[in-house]
Amino acid sequence: MKPSSRPQIPAQFDSAIEAAKRGGFGDALERIEGALEKAPSHEALATAAALALAEVARRAGRARNAGSAEEALRRAISLRPRFADLRFQLACLLLGQNRSREAREQLEAALDANARYVAARVELALLDAREGFVPEALTALQDLTASVAVKDLPALKLGMRSLERADWEEAASLIRRGFRLSDPELMDRIERFHALMKQENFQGALDLLREVLPRHDAYPDLHYLTGIAELQLGALDDALSSFARALELHPDFHAARVQFAGTLEAMGLTAVAQEEIAFVLQREPTNREAKAFLEAHPRVTHRAA
């Protein structure tokens, strides 16, 4: 299994997944166990069951039912103990409950199964730092950069400085961003955010992101999405602040700058909005969002560019 992949769940476990969607986690586990009892030695079925149990665990975690999530993952690991993703998923759950020793065991098991599992190596280094082994954690992260392409070096450097200051939450967010690691909980939140936005439940979508924003302040995308929801609710001042924070973290985030300009225009600050659009077009003359903005806002002209 590739780290952070979401394999397709086989059809024979559809009823279990549907039960989990309704919050029936115990029912979902029983359905999976029932399928296994019918063919206990079927290797392909055992793998499929492990994947289904991992999905049940994700949904239980989403519903804040940590007990069911842990039970599902431990059953999955009993079926496929060498699946690094399962070990990592359980480690993240345990870390959220401050069960550091058990989380460490799972991270080490994940790395034993897949020594190149970057996310597990990062989380193990972060755990070391939180337990007082900051120099060792920094060395581990530096060693990792020698074998893995860093996607956002400035974020990684800032994260390592935060680690030295014992600012664990900020450090974790920046370091994960540096390696472009997906956070399972955050990815689930973003999926639910988009679903709520489609349903025009803008307040619900906004509340969903605001719950996790303090822990993921270094993610410009999260501030951008927060600003989108705030715009839909007519909270212009809040939206402006969210887009500004996204741009502070990532100055070339053109989509955020266009939305920033749109918010300025809605507040009557047409000249300033024009400067922001001009900045985008200077950097990327073919930017479709900026051109669409000019068409939709005739008071904003292109002359400043």
pLDDT (tens digit per residue) in 44-99: 788 889 989 998 998 898 888 999 999 999 999 999 998 998 999 999 899 989 99
Q: Is the pLDDT of residue 179 over 80?
A: yes
pLDDT mean across residues, the chain: 86
Answer yes or no: same fold for 1-97 and 184-296.
yes
User: Domain 184-296, what architecture?
Assistant: Alpha Horseshoe (1.25)
Least confident of 31-40, 177-186, 276-285: 177-186
Task: Provide the pLDDT confidence category of residue 203 given band limits of 50, 70 and 90.
Answer: very high
Task: Provide the pLDDT confidence category of residue 42 given band limits of 50, 70 and 90.
Answer: low
Give the per-residue pLDDT at 214: 77
CA dist 137 and 189 (Å) reads 29
Q: How many residues does the chain have?
A: 305
Give the per-residue pLDDT at 131: 93
Q: 254, 264, 255: which is closest to 297 by C-alpha?
A: 264
Task: For residues 254-267, give the mean pLDDT.
Answer: 90
| Residue 303 CB coordination number (10 Å) | 7
Helices (H) and strands (E) in the chain, counts: 17, 0
Q: Is the pLDDT of residue 304 over 50?
A: no
More confident residue, 146 or 241: 241
Secondary-structure class of domain 1-97 per CATH: mainly alpha
Task: Provide the pLDDT confidence category of residue 302 given band limits of 50, 70 and 90.
Answer: low
Angle at 288 (CA atoms; ends 284, 294), nearest 5 degrees: 95
Alpha helix (H) ranges present in 39-83? Answer: 43-62, 66-79
Give the per-residue pLDDT at 9: 55
Give the per-residue pLDDT at 207: 92
Give the per-residue pLDDT at 205: 93
Give the per-residue pLDDT at 4: 43
Residue 267's SS3 state is coil
Least confident of 7-11, 31-35, 130-134, 148-152: 7-11
Query: Of the ranges 33-37, 106-110, 175-179, 211-215, which is most confident?
Result: 106-110
Task: For residues 143-148, give the mean pLDDT.
Answer: 88
Tokens of 159: 């994260």
SS (H, E, C) 157-221: HHHHHHHHCCCHHHHHHHHHHHHCCCCHHHHHHHHHHHHHHHCCCHHHHHHHHHHHHHHHCCCHH
Task: Provide the pLDDT confidence category of residue 101 given band limits of 50, 70 and 90.
Answer: very high
CA 256 centroid distance within chain: 18
Using the Cα atoms of residue 263, residue 173, residue 250 and residue 288 in order, give the sign of their dihedral: negative
**% the chain with pLDDT above 70:** 91
Give the per-residue pLDDT at 197: 92
More confident residue, 1 or 104: 104
Q: What share of the chain is helix, strand, coil (3-state, %, to 5)?
A: 75, 0, 25
CA dist 305 and 302 (Å) reads 6
More confident residue, 40 or 228: 228
| Residue 234 CB coordination number (10 Å) | 10
Task: For residues 160-177, give the mean pLDDT.
Answer: 87
Every domain of the chain and the residues it spans: 1-97, 116-181, 184-296
Return the exposure string of 261-293: e unless at least 16 CB atoms fall within 10 Å of the residue's CB, then b.
Answer: bbbbbeeeeeeebbebbbbbbeeeeebebbbeb
Residue 109's SS3 state is helix
